[in-house]
């Protein structure tokens, strides 16, 4: 876990593709369970739900659901992170970006328990540029 002074210096990211069809309600129920598993809080923030295709016909059939959630420290809201579900007819993806460290193995196990078989999963950490590593855009 990061030191308490590390908030905002790193992000922990996880992308998972899950097999199979889910209803929008199953996704909405699953997001609550995942946020609870992470030990985070939605702090009354409703998800942003987009339906596809959009009115002009662009986009395939499906939804995008974005859910912000709050990291807390001593029961005080600290930062906002988020989770995005991109839902297609035969599968869906989950993206989680958090300012607090995630265990990819534990989160993927919980996704499997709640929503089903994971086809592919990747996790990574982004942090500040350190000596010897070049930043994109010419810095560092």
68 located within any domain: yes
- Give the pLDDT confidence score for residue 99 in this predicted structure: 81
Q: Is residue 139 pLDDT above 50, yes or no?
A: no
2 located within any domain: no
The reported pTM is 0.79
Residue 17: which CATH number? 3.60.90.10
> Worst-scoring range by mean pLDDT, 1-10, 84-93, 124-133?
1-10
118 located within any domain: yes
35 located within any domain: yes
Sheet of 118-126: strand order equals 48-52, 62-73, 76-87, 91-98, 11-19, 118-126
Q: In the numeric block, which tokens belong to residue 128?
A: 């500040």
Structural domain of 105:
9-126
User: Rounded to the nearest 5°, which phi and psi values hold at 99?
Assistant: -85, -10
How many structural domains compose the chain? 1
- Give the pLDDT confidence score for residue 136 in this predicted structure: 52
Q: Is residue 126 pLDDT above 70, yes or no?
A: yes
Q: What confidence category does residue 72 fall into, taking pLDDT thresholds of 50, 70 and 90?
A: low
């Amino acid at each position: 876990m990061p030191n308490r002074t590390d908030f905002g210096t790193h992000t922990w990211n996880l992308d998972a593709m899950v097999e199979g069809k889910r209803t929008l309600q199953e996704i909405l129920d699953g997001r609550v369970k995942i946020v609870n598993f992470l030990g985070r809080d939605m702090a009354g923030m409703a998800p942003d739900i987009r339906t596809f295709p959009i009115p002009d016909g662009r986009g395939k059939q499906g939804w995008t659901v974005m859910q912000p959630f709050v990291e807390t420290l001593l029961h005080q809201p600290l930062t906002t992170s988020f989770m995005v579900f991109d839902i297609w007819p035969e599968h869906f993806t989950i993206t989680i970006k958090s300012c607090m460290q995630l265990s990819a193995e534990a989160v993927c196990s919980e996704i499997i328990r709640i929503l089903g078989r994971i086809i592919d999963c990747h996790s990574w950490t982004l942090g500040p540029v350190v000596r010897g590593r070049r930043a994109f855009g010419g810095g560092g």
